[in-house]
Structure 1
């Protein structure tokens, strides 16, 4: 009789231990899957932001050049409208970065890169436009440098 009780108790203990180990393994697997999904979302958001900001910087430079060459022309107006479209895309990409990034420095650099790029077309002369464009490029590079460790 004692042998039967011990056998039943051993079976129950084995079942409980198996359940606990399986539960822990399932939780670890789910946590790793969530972390990997967030990592992939960050890579996508950061890449999209960088691409949108590069396009926006190009559009801002083009807008400035067209306004200087032929102020008020149809070409200058088209460049201005294109810069609005590019700004909207860059702003949407910035919002996605803000949703997935938890690094305050990277967030600040992303916002700064957007703002610096936004002001390129307001430059009063060529040296200032060039300086602003370079500052926008450098700030974007700093954002990438700050954000990259979070996706490695």
Structure 2
């Protein structure tokens, strides 16, 4: 009789242990997929921020140099496309890691702030501020994602 009780208890404990180990493996795999999605979204956001800074710099430089409306309109179309890329990547980062919402938004807003610079000095200062904000985002992401 005791041998039957021990056999049943062993079977139940073995099943419970197997289930527990499977749950842990699934959780670890889910966490890894989420971390990978965040790495991709961060990479896309940082690249989009750089593209948007460059496009805005070019557009504002054209405006400050008194370029014709056709050149400015073409540059404006480019900045709209790059801003869209920033926005979509920003949403992905904020959804995947809410702790990065603040630094990510600050980086995006700093890049957007290159618009309507009154002169080259202000444009350069805004560009540096945008680069610094992006660097701060990368540093914050490193802290959040550190093991």
Q: TM-score range by the shorter chain?
A: over 0.9
Contact persistence 2:64–2:120 (CA under 8 A): no
Residue 73 (1) aligns with residue 41 (2): no
Indicate if the aligned counterparts of 1:70 and 1:76 stay in contact, CA closer than 8 A: no
**Hey, what's the Cα distance between the residues in 2 that align with 1:69 and 1:115?**
25
Question: In the aligned structure 1, how far is the partner of 2:98 from the partner of 2:11?
Answer: 41
Query: Which whole-Å deviations, capped at 9, do the CAs of 1:63-106 have from their partners, x for residues lacking one?
Result: 10111223443111101111111111111111111110131xx3
Please tell me whether the aligned partners of residues 41 and 92 of structure 2 are also in contact (alpha carbons under 8 angstroms).
Answer: yes
Structure 2 stretches lacking a partner, 5+ long: none
Instruction: Give the distance between the partners of 1:111 and 1:41, measured in 2 at CA.
Output: 19
Instruction: Tell me the distance in 1 between the aligned counterparts of 2:81 and 2:89.
Output: 13
RMSD: 1.2
Match of 2:32 among 27, 31, 36: 36
TM-score (norm 1): 0.91
Aligned length: 146
Task: Determine the structure 1 residue equivalent to 2:50.
Answer: 54
CA distance in 1, matches of 2:74, 2:97: 34
Question: 1:122 aligns to what?
Answer: 116
Question: Structure 2 length normalisation: TM-score?
Answer: 0.94
**Where do 5+ consecutive residues of structure 1 fail to align?**
none
1:120 partner SS: coil
| Aligned mate of 2:95, from 79, 87, 99 | 99
Render the CA deviation track for 1:20-46: whole Å, top value 9, x for unaligned.
111110111111111111110110111
Matched, 1:24 2:11: no
